[in-house]
Chain A
């Protein structure tokens, strides 16, 4: 079969749902799929799965991949430095020390995204921008790793004000990719603790009882911070 015939055949047999994802259907063709989806559960499922992932998803992916590539470059540099160090006369002693210690778990960089009925949403790239909440808001916090996590990590959450941090008991879900998610009504998650809070998320191989000092750096944990403005409901 010639290339042209192959291409023609592929065009004819490409599923319309797939063409919808690729943005290759006309408005009328898309309308037909929507009409089919209204009358059938299976087609409703197909429509939900195939509607193209939007620009915000792609932007988030770009952020994560960029962070992952930067993290990998840092690791490569660290490896090179470490290799250089092993050429010194202390190489044998250092090697022995490494053997005696358990292998360190590398915690990747994470991106923080807050969505829901909040006035402001933001990603990890502008941590200074606060999030405004009210008791009727629904909070959906996602922490996604820059690279796939192969070891079990835990998420510890804290609320900090006036330099004092307290553990934040929130329901945490974990995805197989290593992503974490906290989801729920603001009233349920923050009760009536109105005011400005620094929310701190610590991802580490095991639960931590208090967050590290702001600015402290460690390769075996990742810390993300954001400011929550939780407004009391207006008086009737």
Chain B
């Protein structure tokens, strides 16, 4: 995070490019995270398009933060309790909902979604299991996955998913056929899903007690 965000904002708004770039680096992640969440929870996200939609809305949010000589950015006051990241995330959420409410599911299409439908979705949808996956849960899930898989399975997981090596390279390293690797990949996916579901069920039980 920035040493002095307010100073950085003023220098960026005065047109200093390095400050502007630094501020874009700081603001983009919290804005993207919130925009992505709104798109997914309201059902506005579609495979193959969601990336472009996220980019377009993030661009619009950044534009609105800098509009009118950076009025919204200058309104941020840490003394009111929100960090800069939390503040822009809040603005991003409002802006994303407003854009989706303006009857444009995707910035490049005119397919409409009724605002009532959208609001209902946003307020009543239960987030899917992994949408509320926390870091703590991710840690638990990883250790359970490791105990579920054999040493060879763990090795395949590391090479394929951690190192993102190509299947051909993994086959060569492990002396495995393509079919065998495909079977491992499927097994790992299934195991990850199972432990995620198991964890999610346990979490629900804890809440109910």
Task: Show the binding face of A for B, using Cβ within 8 Å.
Answer: 11-19, 21-23, 25, 27-36, 38-46, 48-53, 57-59, 61-62, 64-66, 68-70, 72-73, 144-148, 173-177, 179, 181
Q: Is the CB of B13 within 8 A of A69?
A: yes
CB distance from A34 to the nearest CB of B (A): 5
Q: How far is the CA of A35 from the CA of B193 in the complex (A)?
A: 8
CB-contact partner of A62 in B24, B69, B137, under 8 A: B24
Q: Is the CB of B192 within 8 A of A148?
A: no
* A32-B192, A61-B24 as given contacts; A44 in contact with B47, CB under 8 Å: yes
Q: Which of B22-52 contact A (CB under 8 A)?
A: 24-25, 28-30, 32-33, 36-37, 39-40, 45-47, 50-51
For B108, list chain A residues within 8 Å (CB): 173-175, 181
For B66, list chain A residues within 8 Å (CB): 65, 68-69
Q: Is the interface of A mostly helix, strand, loop or mixed?
A: helix
Residue of B nearest to A57 (CB): B55
A-B residue pairs, 5 tightest by C-beta: A31-B161, A49-B36, A39-B189, A175-B107, A31-B162
* A48-B50, A181-B108 as given contacts; A40 in contact with B130, CB under 8 Å: yes
Q: Is the CB of A15 within 8 A of B133?
A: yes
Q: How far is the CA of A15 from the CA of B162 in the complex (A)?
A: 20
CB-contact partner of A21 in B36, B141, B161, B189, under 8 A: B36
Residue of B nearest to A145 (CB): B63
* A43-B130, A58-B25 as given contacts; A72 in contact with B69, CB under 8 Å: yes
Q: How far is the CA of A11 from the CA of B28 in the complex (A)?
A: 19
For B50, list chain A residues within 8 Å (CB): 45, 48-49
* A12-B134, A16-B138, A17-B131 as given contacts; A45 in contact with B28, CB under 8 Å: no
For A65, list chain B residues within 8 Å (CB): 20, 24, 62-63, 66
Q: Is the CB of A53 within 8 A of B58?
A: yes
Q: Is the CB of B189 within 8 A of A144?
A: no
Q: How far is the CA of A29 from the CA of B161 in the complex (A)?
A: 10
20 further interface pairs, Cβ-Cβ under 8 Å (given A15-B134, A66-B20, A145-B63): A14-B135, A16-B137, A21-B33, A22-B29, A29-B138, A31-B161, A32-B141, A32-B192, A36-B130, A39-B192, A48-B47, A50-B33, A57-B55, A62-B24, A64-B63, A65-B24, A68-B66, A69-B20, A176-B60, A176-B99
CB distance from A212 to the nearest CB of B (A): 26
CB distance from B196 to the nearest CB of A (A): 6
Q: How far is the CA of A36 from the CA of B47 in the complex (A)?
A: 15
Q: Is the CB of A148 within 8 A of B64?
A: yes
* A34-B161, A40-B130, A43-B130 as given contacts; A148 in contact with B63, CB under 8 Å: yes
CB distance from A178 to the nearest CB of B (A): 9
Kindly state whether residue B94 has any CB partner on chain A within 8 Å.
no
Kindly state whether residue B142 has any CB partner on chain A within 8 Å.
yes
Kindly state whether residue B128 has any CB partner on chain A within 8 Å.
yes
Q: How far is the CA of A163 from the CA of B162 in the complex (A)?
A: 55
Q: Is the CB of B20 within 8 A of A35?
A: no
Q: How far is the CA of A174 from the CA of B188 in the complex (A)?
A: 42
Q: Which of B73-110 contact A (CB under 8 A)?
A: 99, 102, 104, 107-108
